[in-house]
Structure 1
Amino acid sequence: MLTTADILKKVKELEIKSKKLTRHLFTGEYHSAFKGKGMSFKEVREYHPGDDVRFIDWNVSARFNTPFSKMFEEERELTMMLLVDISASSLFGTVHARKKDLVTEIGAVLSFSAISNNDKVGAVLFSDGIEKYIPPKKGRDHGLFIVRELLTLEGKRKGTDITQALRYLNNTTRQRCIVFVLSDFLDPAFSDALRVAGKKHDVIGIKVYDPMDMKLPDIGIMETEDAETGKVLLIDTSDYFVRKTHEDAFFQHTEWCKQVFLRAGCDLLHIATREDYVKVLQKFFIGRS
């Protein structure tokens, strides 16, 4: 159990690391990936050579008998929402870190990326129920509060209900948001809710997994427990068929998740707990620019 001193120390470490990454790696990429997606009408002025002819206001032009162009400005302020899965399966980890630790660090980096761009950031922490809602705000103190909650909040329930989290998001946020869903997506039925959320928001899934979710080690008889259902199983990992079945199930689930996000018009990233998440995020941001 973390003491208050441990929590404060860890929050400070995450702030320093996040700010460093944001300053050196993500500021430009974040800005390019998400800014300028929304344009709001500003004014009409006389046409200047070089203006985009698609934005000529023909009604005003006809009235004054000279061409006028519609001018737009970038909608500067954005809102980022983090939907964070804190179900029991997030506590699993066999190398470097648990899934929860990786999710917390990614959440911290995304929060400070938004805050450094003067955007609002909020969070919905969920299991198979809504565990905590943090309304979006600006500022360092708010970012630190989100990181502290990501670090310390433990789910009262063990399961995963992504549909409920997405519906809660839609019901609590009126404006369009950038939404990062951080989960291992061990939920068989969230495709309809994702499709609805994807029409309203810019949704990006970050599927976090442990190497053992994909591959079992060849170590003989192993007792396993499903963190969310409590079901205990003895499996013979020295049996090739057992290992192959486990691996096939992982890739089937991965492919299913890809298709769900694709059909909803949303992006999905895959990050292993032993992987450099910075490179994955940066590549994604640059790819969107």
Structure 2
Amino acid sequence: MIPREVMQNIRRIQINTSHVVDDLLAGSWHSAFKGRGIEFEEVRPYQVGDDIRTIDWNVTARAGEPFVKLFHEEREMSVMLLVDLSASQDFGTNHQTKRQLITELGATLAFSAIKNNDKVGLTLFTDQIEKALPPRKGTRHVLRLIRELLYCAPIGRGTDIRAALDHLGRTASRRSVVFLVSDFQDEGFERTLRVTRRKHDVVPIMVSDRHETELPNVGMIRLRDPESGRQVSIDTSSRRHRLRFAERMQARIAATEAMFRRMKMEPIRIVTGEDYVEPLQRFFHRREAKA
């Protein structure tokens, strides 16, 4: 039996995100992802007026007469949430950790999917696959997703985006919309991401906290990388040290954004303590305009 406190937290997330879906994202989901493709249905003999581009030449050759392929529009789609639960997600300085922000965002995307009668699945990863729930419909399924986002205790601490994408490739048999949610403190996954994009519609969501690139002036401090455990001392009273830190972190972010641009991908950027709905709305509206 699920403890009462757990159910209360799940219910709170459900109420907050359902409001966002109903009042702010209504209609945007379907408009953003309409025209997402067609599926093969059957072949039949060619009829006058059929588009010759639909002729199935293999069947035609075997039958000795022309046959055409028939397709139907996909009425539903599968949505996959690939969520990074590495140790760096527990960081947050603006009334919210990155993991708390990810949980609300994931719930919003999941409720948006089922409201549009789509299936939604979840893969939680660190430097290994922590939990994988296949795509399904229904509120009960989404509540389970929220529970895992809230309470999954990851074994790993690092980040391996390539392994998460490889796992998706092995388990997702049909084309899906994939929201890849991470702070992208990883490298070496560009080639795998390119391969994944050939089959799936991948939407990167970059999660950050402003103090990851902006040190406060508080004197000598000791920083510890939550994923590697490596520690370093920095004198934050030195403007030069603060600028060097900011430049280094901004360079890492810029490299990730440049990789997305090379692949013509448009990431959604969200920041702890700030509204995540507006970036989602802007993304949906841009997608709708391109559809």
TM-score by length of 1: 0.88
SS of 1:203's equivalent in the other structure is strand
Tell me the residue number matched to 2:176.
177
Distance in 2 between residues matched to 1:31 and 1:97, nearest whole Å: 30
Are 2:120 and 1:121 equivalent residues in the alignment? yes
The 3 A distance-change label for structure 1 pair 87 and 57 is same
**What is the distance in 2 between the residues matched to 1:37 and 1:251?**
35
Cα 1:117/1:241, change in 2 over 3 Å? same
2:59 alignment counterpart: none
Tell me the alpha carbon deviations over residues 242-277 of structure 1, each in whole angstroms, 9 at most, x when there is no partner: 111111122211211112222234331211112210
> Residue 146 of structure 1: CA displacement?
0.3
1:133–1:59 distance in 2 versus 1, CA, 3 Å: closer
> How many angstroms does 1:214 deviate by?
1.4
C-alpha separation in 1, matches of 2:24 and 2:191: 35
1:27 CA displacement: 2.8
- Rounded to whole Å, the distance in 1 between the matches of 2:284 and 2:143 is 23
What SS does structure 1 have at the residue aligned with 2:80?
Answer: strand
Distance 1:20 1:211 in 2: 27
Aligned to 1:275: 274
Q: What SS is found at the alignment partner of 1:270?
A: strand
Residue in structure 1 matched with residue 254 of structure 2 by the alignment: 255
Partner of 1:20: 19
Q: Following TM superposition, by how much is the alpha carbon of 1:59 offset from its aligned partner in structure 2, in angstroms?
A: 8.7
Report the residue type matching 1:264 in the other structure.
M
Q: Does 1:166 align with 2:203?
A: no
Partner of residue 66, structure 1: none
The residue type paired with residue 78 of structure 2 is: T
d(CA) in 2 for partners of 1:46 and 1:246? 69
| Equivalent-residue separation in structure 1 for 2:241 and 2:78 (angstroms) | 45
Q: Offset of 1:157 from its aligned partner?
A: 1.0
1:171-214 Cα deviation digits (max 9, x unpaired): 10111100001110000211111111111100011110111111
Answer yes or no: is the 8 Å Cα contact 1:191–1:264 preserved in 2: no
- What SS does the corresponding residue of 1:22 show, helix, strand or coil? helix
Let me know the Cα RMSD of the aligned residues.
2.2
Say whether 1:264 aligns with 2:263.
Answer: yes
Deviation at residue 58 of structure 1 after TM alignment:
7.7
Q: Which residue of 1 aligns with 2:153?
A: 154
Alignment of 1:139 with 2:148, yes or no, is no
Counterpart amino acid of residue 189 in structure 2: F
Q: 1:94 to 1:176 in 2, by over 3 A?
A: same
- Please give the alpha-carbon distance, in whole angstroms, between the structure 2 residues aligned to 1:233 and 1:105: 32
One-letter amino acid of the structure 1 residue matched with residue 107 of structure 2: A
Partner of 2:245: 246
Separation (CA, whole Å) in 1 of partners of 2:15 and 2:139 = 12
Give, in whole Å, the separation in 2 of the partners of 1:202 and 1:285: 14
| SS of residue in 2 equivalent to 1:267 | coil
Query: May I ask how many residue pairs the two structures share in their alignment?
Result: 272
Normalised to the residue count of structure 2, the TM-score between the two structures is 0.87
Q: Deviations over 1:153-178 (max 9, x none)?
A: 02101100000000000110111100
Moved over 6 A (4+): 41-47
Q: Distance in 2 between matches of 1:40 and 1:161?
A: 33
Gap runs ≥5 in structure 1: 48-54, 61-69
Distance 2:35 2:272 in 1: 32
Cα distance in 2 for residues equivalent to 1:74 and 1:5: 43
Sequence identity, in percent?
41
The residue that corresponds to 2:129 in the other structure is: 130
Structure 2 unaligned regions, length at least 5: 56-68
Provide closer, same or farther for how the CA distance between residues 34 and 199 of structure 1 changes in structure 2, counting only shifts above 3 A.
same
Q: CA separation in 2, counterparts of 1:244 and 1:30?
A: 40
